[in-house]
């Protein structure tokens, strides 16, 4: 009986921790979930994590030129994280 009570007491905090981790998805996870679909859009050559003009962590989508149709498809915010579009140019092995 003692063992069971002790186990329950130990398990509860673990469950609580698990819940918390589910609540806030990290920017790395959000980026990972969406980067393949970004990279499939015409002109997108990179997806990374940087800072927006206000200094907040942001998902940075890099284009190889101006692609208005692609820009229109990229949301400004993705699961609470800002998305910034940058023209990084065609990336070539140097």
Partner 1 sequence: MADDLNTIRGILKSNRQNLFKRANVVATGVGYKETGGARTSTLCIVCSVKKKVDAGQLAGQDFVPSAVAGIPTDVVQTGVIRALQAPTDRFRPAPGGVSVGHVAITAGTLGCWVTKNGQKVILSNNHVLANSNDAEIGDSILQPGPFDAGSFPQDHFANLTQFVPISFEGEPSQCQFANGVIAVFNAGCRVINSNTRYKVAKVQAEDNLVDAAIATPLDPADVKDEILNIGPIQGTVEGELGMAIKKSGRTTGFTTGQIQQVDVSANVQYGAGQIALFTDQLLAGAMSQGGDSGSAVLDENNRLTGLLFAGSDTTTIINRIENVFSALGISL
For partner 1, the closer of residues 3 and 24 by Cβ is: 24
Phi, psi of 13 (to 5 degrees): -60, -35
Residues 21-50 binding partner 1 (CB under 8 A) are 28, 31, 35, 39, 45-50
Q: How far apart are CA 49 and CA 86, in angstroms?
A: 12
51 touches partner 1 (CB under 8 A): yes
Phi, psi of 36 (to 5 degrees): -60, -40
78 touches partner 1 (CB under 8 A): no
Q: How far is the CB of 69 from partner 1 (least distance, A)?
A: 18
Phi, psi of 42 (to 5 degrees): -60, 130
Residues 57-76 binding partner 1 (CB under 8 A) are 60, 62, 64
For partner 1, the closer of residues 47 and 78 by Cβ is: 47
Rounded alpha-carbon distances, angstroms, from residue 70 to 4, 30, 38, 63: 57, 19, 9, 9
Task: Summarize as ranges the residues that interact with partner 1 (CB under 8 A).
Answer: 28, 31, 35, 39, 45-51, 60, 62, 64, 87-94
């Amino acid at each position: 009986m003692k063992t069971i009570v002790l186990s329950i007491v130990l398990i509860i905090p673990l469950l609580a921790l698990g819940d918390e981790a589910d609540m806030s998805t990290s920017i790395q996870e959000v980026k990972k979930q969406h980067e393949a679909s970004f990279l499939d859009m015409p002109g997108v050559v990179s997806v990374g994590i940087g800072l927006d003009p206000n200094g907040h962590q942001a998902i940075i989508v890099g284009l190889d030129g101006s692609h208005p149709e692609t820009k229109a498809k990229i949301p400004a915010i993705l699961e609470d994280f800002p998305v910034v579009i940058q023209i990084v140019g065609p990336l070539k092995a140097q």
